[in-house]
């Protein structure tokens, strides 16, 4: 069974997001070994461009040890695809022998360049900006949708 890791910066504080993520994680267990790794988020009172780079670098150092297998980082400049395109990509990776697939979601300021450079691909769901806890729910749902599409389920309409 393929292992799918979700490495995400920050904790999910809102119960409604946590409940949704938990539900999709439970559903994903039919298709894969799904694991979420939470990375501590850096917090500074006063933020400028220099501090933002420092924040991303500190978070990157915490992310690096968790980059396993085929790495897809979520970034606004990444490739955009449909849900069926995402499902096809996932199926190709699994059929191609990738036993571990890791998705990465950055913190409030995004991902450091070193994480993007170590990624096999960059994906984006939109040019819009989303709170990273909401995006974690969205990605978890899309993973479930992709596995459901590939399994022939009626979930995707």
- pLDDT tens digits for range 86-131: 999 999 999 999 999 999 999 989 999 999 999 999 999 998 888 8
The pTM of this model reads: 0.95
- CATH number 3.40.1280.10 given to 3-150: yes
Long-range contacts of 87-93 (CB under 8 A, 24+ apart): 87/145, 87/146, 87/147, 87/149, 87/150, 87/156, 89/146, 90/143, 90/146, 90/147, 90/150, 91/146, 91/150
- pLDDT tens digits for range 125-157: 998 888 889 999 999 999 999 999 999 988 866
């Amino acid at each position: 069974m393929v292992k799918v890791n979700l490495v995400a910066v920050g904790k999910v504080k809102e119960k409604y997001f946590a409940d949704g993520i938990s539900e999709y994680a439970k559903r994903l267990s039919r298709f894969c070994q799904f694991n979420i790794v939470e990375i501590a988020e850096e917090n500074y009172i006063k933020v400028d461009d220099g501090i933002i780079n420092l924040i991303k670098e500190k978070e990157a150092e915490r992310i690096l040890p968790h980059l396993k297998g085929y790495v897809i980082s979520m970034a606004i400049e990444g490739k955009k695809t449909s849900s069926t395109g995402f499902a096809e990509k996932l199926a190709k990776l699994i059929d191609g022998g990738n036993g571990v697939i890791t998705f990465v979601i950055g913190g409030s300021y995004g991902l450091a360049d070193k994480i993007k450079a170590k990624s096999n691909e960059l994906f984006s769901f939109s040019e819009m900006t989303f709170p990273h806890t909401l995006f974690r729910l969205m990605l978890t749902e899309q993973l479930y949708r992709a596995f459901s599409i590939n399994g022939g389920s009626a979930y995707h309409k």
